Amino acid sequence: NNVRLGYCAVEAVQSLLKICSEVVVIDSDSTDGTLEEFQRMADQDSRIKVVNFPWTDPKGVGAGFLVDWLNFGRSHLTTKFQITLDADEILENE
């Protein structure tokens, strides 16, 4: 729920588009318009792929959920190299 939490997720994707040939956005059952915002972006830019990884409320399960979540996203890439940003990070490339 990036919109509700006030994360800079849209800006994060925009910062990646400056240097990446594709960006995979992993949503996890957002309910606040986050998914729709990213889908609008993907509709306007074919380099953006939006995928859903079901949210299981992984409190107390350790890093396993995060590893599975990241690997799921990576499985949708066609590029040889990748960079990962969280929803509250922006790639500064100036």
How confident is the model over 15-72, as pLDDT tens digits? 999 999 999 999 988 888 888 999 999 999 999 999 998 877 767 666 777 888 889 9
Residue with token string 């992984």: 58
- Contacts of residue 23, defined as CB under 8 A and 6 or more positions apart, other chains included, come to 13, 16, 17, 47, 48, 49
- Amino acid making up residue 55: W
Task: Tell me: pLDDT of 3 over 90.
Answer: no
Handedness of CA 58, 63, 68, 82 (dihedral sign): positive
Which phi and psi (to 5°) does residue 51 adopt?
Answer: -130, 160
Distance in angstroms (rounded) separating the CA atoms of residues 49 and 63: 24
More confident residue, 87 or 50: 50
